[in-house]
Structure 1
Amino acid sequence: MPGSSGRVGSAAPAYGSGRSSSGGPSYGAPSSRSSGDGDWPPRGGGPGGPGGPPPAGRPYKGKRKPKWGRIALVVGAVLIVAGIIAGISLYGYANGLNDDLKRTDAFSEITNGRPAKTVDGALNVLLVGSDSRDPDAAKDTTNAWRADTLILMHIPADHKSAQLISIPRDLWVNIPSANDAACDSGSRAKINAAFAFGGLPRAVRTVECMTDVHLDHVLAIDFGGFKEVTDALGGVDLKVDQSITSIHKPHRKFVKGTMHMNGEQALDWIRQRKQFPRGDFDRMRHQQEFLKALMDKAASGGTLSNPSKLNDFLKSVTKAVTADQDFSLTDMAVQFRSLRGENLTFITSPNKGSETISGQSVVVADRDKALVLYKAVASDKMTEWMTANKS
């Protein structure tokens, strides 16, 4: 299983040859099966899935108010906590933290007898930023679960580095009609619509279909946790690449240069997108910069040498994170203790930028480049991919 393409159910490659369980790629322009309205709203099927109206409650809408980059801390929860705990050899303490983690069945209906994943070998983790602390919301209310950002984190078998692939929330993909449905079922929409159709498991299924990469674990984080963890570290220093005024109250001023930010300020900064020339893409870059700053601060001597500060940090992380049923913090602590900010490579899922499809502004994948990237992830050959794609 480690590092393999690890098809789940009837998952199949979404790129290149366009093969899936019954034909048809998951990316690109609307398929030849599109109705006159361009596959949106989805066709056929029952409520709550592509192919039927969204479930009762707040409907999914294509454009949302700009959100913030909660995903950064999810990654920190995986890597920072692991390295710190192992470094100070508090394995028993780690066990207690592991027990404190909230759990969710992220692989509901798509496991098909999937065995528990160990940390030996390569590892693929889906990191999710959301507006809810409750990934286990009932199916009839899953439309309340929303994701701001998705990151596919690949950790090679040697556990000495990690590659984090940001998936734009507006990426135009095929969303399967059910958590256990064929990859070419359903119809196309923005990827974060998967949460409205079937909660976290549908998002997992969609990403696996899109990339043909087997996901071993899923971690989610909420708004409150983002602020608490940052504040537990005493804030972070972030580069402000242009002076702006926040579009959110209390309309903070961010001045070009390096600024020390607490949790509220950092949250506000990485929410901004409208003031920047590349919009969501600049916002993703700011999220990535925040992640590195957070990791480096957490691994610093000032955190490790202060028992009270370290405890506050670790407790805030476990309160903020929701993990899948098989995720083990103690295993992570042993295996990934050497990971630091300089060991991370940030990548954006290959795309051709924004286009208007079915009246929506969406991000269109670069299918050829994406095929090569995700094949490298699935086969644990990211070192070779990065050498060939140094830019």
Structure 2
Amino acid sequence: MAGKSGAPWWAHLMLYTGGLTLVVAGGTAAVTQYGLNAANSAVPEEDILGEHQAEVDVDNLEGPLNILVLGVDKQGATTRSDTMIIVHVNEELTEASMISLPRDLWVEIPDCGPTMNSPCEFKINHAASISDDWEVTRPNVVETIFDLTGVDFHLGATVDFNGFLDLVDLVGEIELCPWHEIQSIHGEKRVFPEGCAYYDKDESLDLIRQRYGWKLDSDWAEGRGGDYGRQAMQQQAIRSLITELKADGYHKDPAKLTEILEGFGGSLTIDKPNELSITDLVVNLRDLDPDAITSIQVPSTPERIQWDDDPLDIVRIHEGEEQAAADALWEALKNDTLDQWIAANPGWVKSETEATETPTGEEATTPAGGTD
């Protein structure tokens, strides 16, 4: 296809959650044919979107593009999705926004599995846990997200975040900045102090998996309690890894690029038109700035309900202002009017450059007893 000229050879399509996003990181080295071949063959393809894949003009790629990114957890033969993100790229392919769907978001699910009647209303991550067979759960997740948003997607991707963080080994350590002390609930029960420090792969993965520790009243008041806090730490990890890779020259050395592609390809799959190559996609997205990605919180707040006579913590899009803002958000994704939506709804928006600062957002009410 005819792409924009003069592009550097870089760019990565990756996920993060709370979580994974579209990230482009660049340099100035020319693309070698070896690099092109390596890029085009490094990322496996799979049918992620099914009937909810929108048409793409591969001969004249332009926006807007809506990209569905699913963070997956692979354990043996079982694959489940624990992170769901919508990335929106504007018509000029110069600006990107990311909408993370909270894993506890209360939604309608078409297939609720053998233990519940279908359809049902439950947490959105339940759509990904109805079966150990990814071929069963994947279309259920996509259909659930479509039923919520009404959005068809031009591209899809899945990322195994554990596999992605193997790339930390290439740089040794990445910087993470928890905004208060966190006691790990996993394995070695590490304690992560408040403030910025460098962590190796195992430590980084431990920290970004935490969500129960973000339970203080201040966490919820600042819009990053529970799973929102986990998402914020995952965002930090992606940005910090890109920063370290660039500092070590991986964006300028084709030989080093091969290391990234080999590591990255093992944790990423993509759903795209057959005629659209990875390098075509990279070239056309070259103007995206990874430091200028806008992060949007789905208009919603947490609450505690009774479920089978037990308390259950959920996140709900409440009737009234939240529902109106959410409905307008889905329409903005389809109509490429997200800039107008952002201007009208600043309380649900934050800049990725403020990831370690207090995010904006409507003040959340802490569920009794915490979030989980």
Q: Shorter-chain TM-score category?
A: 0.7 to 0.9
- Aligned partner of 1:13 in structure 2 is none
Would you say the 8 A contact 1:124–1:217 is kept in 2?
yes
- Aligned partner of 1:294 in structure 2 is 241
Q: CA deviation at 1:165?
A: 0.5
- Aligned partner of 2:226 in structure 1 is 279
Separation in 2 of the partners of 1:342 and 1:268?
Answer: 25
Q: CA deviation at 1:325?
A: 5.0
Would you say the 8 A contact 1:73–1:226 is kept in 2?
no
- Aligned partner of 2:30 in structure 1 is 88
> Given the alignment, which residue of 317, 322, 326 partners 1:370?
326
2:175 pairs with 1:237: yes
> Given the alignment, which residue of 321, 325, 348 partners 2:268?
321
- Aligned partner of 2:92 in structure 1 is 158
Separation in 1 of the partners of 2:72 and 2:18?
Answer: 12
Structure 2 unmatched runs, 5+: 1-14, 113-117, 131-135, 216-224, 348-372
- Aligned partner of 2:293 in structure 1 is 344
- Aligned partner of 2:150 in structure 1 is 212
- Aligned partner of 1:189 in structure 2 is 122
- Aligned partner of 2:354 in structure 1 is none
Deviation per residue, 1:107-156 (Å, 9 max, x gap): 34x359x645644221111111111289xx8xxxxxx4322211111111
- Aligned partner of 2:4 in structure 1 is none
- Aligned partner of 1:105 in structure 2 is 47
Q: TM-score, normalised on structure 2?
A: 0.73
Deviation per residue, 1:65-111 (Å, 9 max, x gap): xxxx9547853xx5336x45x86334652333222322221134x35
Separation in 2 of the partners of 1:385 and 1:117?
Answer: 26
One-letter code aligned to 1:125: I
Structure 1 residues 90, 72: CA separation in 2 closer, same or farther (over 3 Å shift)? farther
Structure 1 unmatched runs, 5+: 1-68, 138-143, 179-184
Deviation per residue, 1:15-51 (Å, 9 max, x gap): xxxxxxxxxxxxxxxxxxxxxxxxxxxxxxxxxxxxx
Would you say the 8 A contact 1:171–1:190 is kept in 2?
yes
Q: CA deviation at 1:306?
A: 4.5
2:102 pairs with 1:168: yes
Deviates more, 1:223-232 or 1:156-165: 223-232
- Aligned partner of 1:387 in structure 2 is 343
Q: Segments of 4+ in structure 1 off by > 4 A?
A: 69-74, 114-117
One-letter code aligned to 1:372: A
- Aligned partner of 1:252 in structure 2 is 190
Structure 1 residues 361, 274: CA separation in 2 closer, same or farther (over 3 Å shift)? same
- Aligned partner of 1:55 in structure 2 is none
Matches for 1:50-89 after TM superposition, within 5 Å:
71=17, 74-75=20-21, 78-80=22-24, 83=26, 88-89=30-31
Would you say the 8 A contact 1:80–1:298 is kept in 2?
no
Separation in 2 of the partners of 1:165 and 1:217?
Answer: 15
- Aligned partner of 2:63 in structure 1 is 121
Separation in 2 of the partners of 1:354 and 1:91?
Answer: 54
Would you say the 8 A contact 2:94–2:289 is kept in 1?
no
Would you say the 8 A contact 1:125–1:152 is kept in 2?
yes
Separation in 2 of the partners of 1:73 and 1:228?
Answer: 16
Deviation per residue, 1:246-290 (Å, 9 max, x gap): 111222231221111222221111111222222222112222222
Separation in 1 of the partners of 2:286 and 2:16?
Answer: 23
Q: TM-score, normalised on structure 1?
A: 0.69
Separation in 1 of the partners of 2:246 and 2:294?
Answer: 17
How many residues align structurally? 303
Separation in 2 of the partners of 1:387 and 1:125?
Answer: 22
Would you say the 8 A contact 1:295–1:340 is kept in 2?
no
Query: Per the alignment, in what secondary structure is the counterpart of residue 337 of structure 1?
Result: coil
